[in-house]
Amino acid sequence: MTVPSSPAMRRPLPAALRRLLSAGRRIWKLAALQSAVTLVLAVGYVWMSDVYIRVEVAEYRAGAALTASSLASTLSSALNERLALVRGLTAFVEVASGAGNLADQFPRYAESLRRSVVGVRNISAAPDFVVRIVYPVEGNRKVLGNDLLKDPRPGFAETVQRAIISRDVTIHGPVDLLQGGQGLIARQIVYGPDKPWGAVGLVFDVGAILDEVRFDRVPPHLGFALVTDSGQRVAGDTSVLRNDPLVERINLPEGHWELALAPRSSWEALAHADPTFRGFQAAFLLLALLTEAITFMAVSRRYSLERQVDLRTAELGRAKNELEQFAYAAAHDLQEPLRAIASYAQLLEKQQKGRLDEESEGFIREIVEGAGRLKMLLRDVQLFLAEDRVPLGGGVVPAGDALKAALTALKRRIAEAGATVTAADLPEVRGDERRLREIFIVLIGNAIEYRHPDRAAEVHVSHRRADGHDVIDVRDNGIGIDPRYRDQIFEVFRRLHSRDEHPGTGMGLAIARKMAERLGGRITVASSPGLGSVFSIHLPTPAFRGFS
C-alpha cells in the first residue's frame, strides 16, 4: 500500500538545485536591469531628440522670420514708392487740366515718372473715365478709348468704383494687360470743382517689382508665396501655405498682401535633415553603447558580489544560529550550578551568622546578591533568545486581563514604592497574553523603578486608535529620558544609570520591543526630562491584521 506524500513529508530541494534556481533568478534580474537601462536610454533618446528638433525648428523659424520681415519691408517700400507716383500724377493732372494744357505737358511729366522707378508699363489719364492720354503711346495704343467704368474684364470697373468711394489709390492685379504681359494697375480719381474729372492710372510690371525685392534671397530650403488678401497668387508657390508658414503682412491703401515663408516639406523634416542632428544622433548612440557596456560590467560585478554576499550571509546565518544555540544552552546549563552556588551561599550565611566578622559576612551577602543578579540575567538572556522560537498564541485577547496579571506580579513592588497605577478600559487586541503581560511588567516596572525622587510614582494605562492600530499608552511622572537616548534604551544591556542607583539586567526594554515586534507591532517613547515618559504599544487591530 502506498501512502501519499503530504507537503510536510516532502524533502527539501537539494542544495545544488537551490543554487541553480538562485543563479537563474540572478540572471533574470541581470537581464531585467539591462533591459530597463535600454528602455531608459530609448525614452531618453526620444525625449532629447524631440527637444533637439524643437530647438532646431525654433532656430529655422527665427531665421525664416528675419528673411520674411526683410522681404516684406523691401516689398512694402517698393509698392509705397510707386503709389506715391500715382498721388503725384493725380496732383499734376488736377493742375494741368485746370490750366488747359494737360495734353502738352503730360508726356514730359510722365517721362520723369518712368525714370524715377523701373517697371512702369504705361501712364494714363482718363477724362470722364475714358482713356484719352497714354504714355508711351508705342505698345499701349490698345488702351486708348477704353471706358474704365464699362471695362468688361473682371475687377477693372470695380477698381475704379472703389477709387471713387475711397478717394485714394486703389490697386488691381496682377492682371493680364491689353498690351500684353502681367501688370499691377494703380488708379486714383481726379476731382474737379463740382464732380470727378476722371481718373489717372499707372501700370507697373509685376516682374520688375519682384526683381527689386530680390526673392532670390530666400534660402533654398524654404519656399515663398505672395498672395493678395483675396487669395490671388502674386508670386511664388502657394503650396507652402499648407506647411505652417511664417506670414508677414504688407499693408496697402485698400487691403493688404501676405508674404508667406515655409519649408517645402515641413519644419520637422527640415530639422531632421540638418547635419547637426545627425551629429547628435551619432553622439547619443556612442553614449548609449558606452552606458550599456558600463551597466553590463557593473551588473555583472554586482551579480558576483551578490553571490559572495549570499555565501557570507549563509555562513553568518549558520554562525548566528550556532551562537544563539550556544548562548541559550549556556544560559540554561548555568542555571543548575548557579542555583547550587546561591543555595550553599545562603546556607553558609545562616550557619555562620554571628561567627564571622562583619567583613566576611559582607562577602557572603555579595555572593548571594551576585548569584541572584546572575540568575535574573540568565533568565532574561533565555527569554530574549527564545522569543523567536516560542510560537504565537494567535487570536484575540483582552488587554485588560494581561494588565491585571502584570499588576498582580508587580503588587509587592508597587506597594513598596508607594506607587499608584490606574487604567482605562482596554479593548481586545490581536496578541499573545503572555507576551503582552511581560511587556506591561517591563514598562510599569520601569516606571516604578525610575520614579522621581520628589513625588510619588503615578502610572496611567490608556487606549487609543491610530493608523489602523490599537495603541496602549503607559504614562508615568518619573525622571524622564534625555532625547539623545530614546533609541539607545531599547538596546541589549544598555543602561543609562549605574547598578547601584537602579538595579536590573538592562534587557527589559529590548525584550519588550522584540515581543511587540513579534506581535506585529512596535513600541515607541515620548519623554520630557524631569516630567515623565509615555511608552506606546502599537498593536494591529483584529480588523487590519492577523498572525501566521
- Kindly report, residue by residue over 286-328, the tens digit of the pLDDT: 998 888 888 888 877 777 777 777 667 666 656 555 555 545 4
Type of residue found at 214: R
Question: What phi-psi label fits residue 467: left (phi over 0), alpha (psi between -120 and 50 degrees) or beta?
Answer: left
Locate 228 and state its grid cell. Answer: 493678395
CA gap 457, 447 in Å, rounded: 8
For position 514, what pLDDT does the model report? 80
For position 518, what pLDDT does the model report? 80
For position 107, what pLDDT does the model report? 93
For position 2, what pLDDT does the model report? 40
SS (H, E, C) 216-279: HHCCCCEEEEEEECCCCEEEECHHHHHCCCEEEEEECCCCEEEEEEEECCCHHHHHHCCHHHHH
For position 487, what pLDDT does the model report? 66
The DSSP 8-state label assigned to residue 384 in this structure reads H
CB 509 within 8 A of CB 384: no
For position 8, what pLDDT does the model report? 38
Is it the case that residue 24 has pLDDT exceeding 90?
no
CB 352 within 8 A of CB 478: no
Residue 108: pLDDT band (50, 70, 90) is very high
Q: What is the mean pLDDT of residues 49-74?
A: 92
N-term to C-term CA, the chain: 35
Kindly list the distances between the CA atom of residue 523 and the CA atoms of 271, 419, 438, 443, 514, in Å, as whole numbers in the listed order: 63, 23, 13, 10, 9
Residue 350: pLDDT band (50, 70, 90) is confident
Q: Is 460 exposed, middle or buried (0-12, 13-18, 19+ CB in 10 A)?
A: middle
Taking the mean position of all CA atoms in its chain, how far away is CA 123?
69
Q: Span 23-273: which CATH code?
A: 3.30.450.20
CA gap 176, 162 in Å, rounded: 20
Q: Return the axis-axis angle of helices 399-409 and 433-449, rounded to nearest 10°.
A: 50
- Kindly report, residue by residue over 506-545, the tens digit of the pLDDT: 577 787 788 888 888 888 888 888 888 888 889 887 754 4
Domain spanning 395-540, CATH architecture = 2-Layer Sandwich (3.30)
CA gap 359, 371 in Å, rounded: 19
367 versus 443: the higher-pLDDT residue is 443
| Rounded (to 5) percent helix, strand, coil in the chain | 55, 20, 25
Q: Is 406 exposed, middle or buried (0-12, 13-18, 19+ CB in 10 A)?
A: buried
For position 225, what pLDDT does the model report? 93
Nearest CA to 457 out of 443, 472, 436 is that of 443
- Kindly report, residue by residue over 173-202, the tens digit of the pLDDT: 888 776 667 889 999 999 988 889 999 999
CA–CA–CA angle 394, 395, 401 (5° rounding): 105
CA gap 226, 260 in Å, rounded: 6
Q: Which range has the worst mean pLDDT, 96-110, 153-167, 221-235, 390-404?
A: 390-404
Is it the case that residue 9 has pLDDT exceeding 50?
no
For position 203, what pLDDT does the model report? 93
Length reported for the chain: 548
Is it the case that residue 169 has pLDDT exceeding 60?
yes
- Kindly report, residue by residue over 114-132, the tens digit of the pLDDT: 999 998 999 999 999 999 9
Is it the case that residue 495 has pLDDT exceeding 70?
no
CA gap 325, 371 in Å, rounded: 23
CA gap 435, 34 in Å, rounded: 48
The phi, psi pair for 355, rounded to 5°, reads -95, -20
CA gap 376, 356 in Å, rounded: 29
Q: What is the mean pLDDT of residues 478-504?
A: 63
For position 509, what pLDDT does the model report? 78
Averaged pLDDT score across all residues of the chain: 80
Locate 507 and state its grid cell. Answer: 534587557
Q: Within a 13 Å sphere around the CA of 149, how many CA atoms are in the beta-carbon half?
A: 12
Helix (H, G, I), strand (E, B) or coil at 132: coil
CB 192 within 8 A of CB 106: no
Question: What phi-psi label fits residue 255: left (phi over 0), alpha (psi between -120 and 50 degrees) or beta?
Answer: left
For position 548, what pLDDT does the model report? 38
CB 190 within 8 A of CB 196: yes
Nearest CA to 24 out of 292, 303, 294, 314 is that of 303
Question: What phi-psi label fits residue 480: left (phi over 0), alpha (psi between -120 and 50 degrees) or beta?
Answer: left
Is it the case that residue 334 has pLDDT exceeding 60?
no
For position 178, what pLDDT does the model report? 64
Q: Which long-range contacts (CB under 8 A, 24 or more apart) does 409-417 make?
A: 409/437, 409/441, 410/441, 410/444, 410/445, 410/448, 413/445, 413/448, 414/448, 417/448, 417/451, 417/457
User: What per-residue string of b and e applies to 468-498 under the rule 16 or more CB within 10 Å gives b?
Assistant: ebbbbbbbbbbbbbeeeeeeebbeeeeeeee
- Kindly report, residue by residue over 401-447, the tens digit of the pLDDT: 888 988 998 889 888 888 889 988 888 887 778 888 888 888 888 88
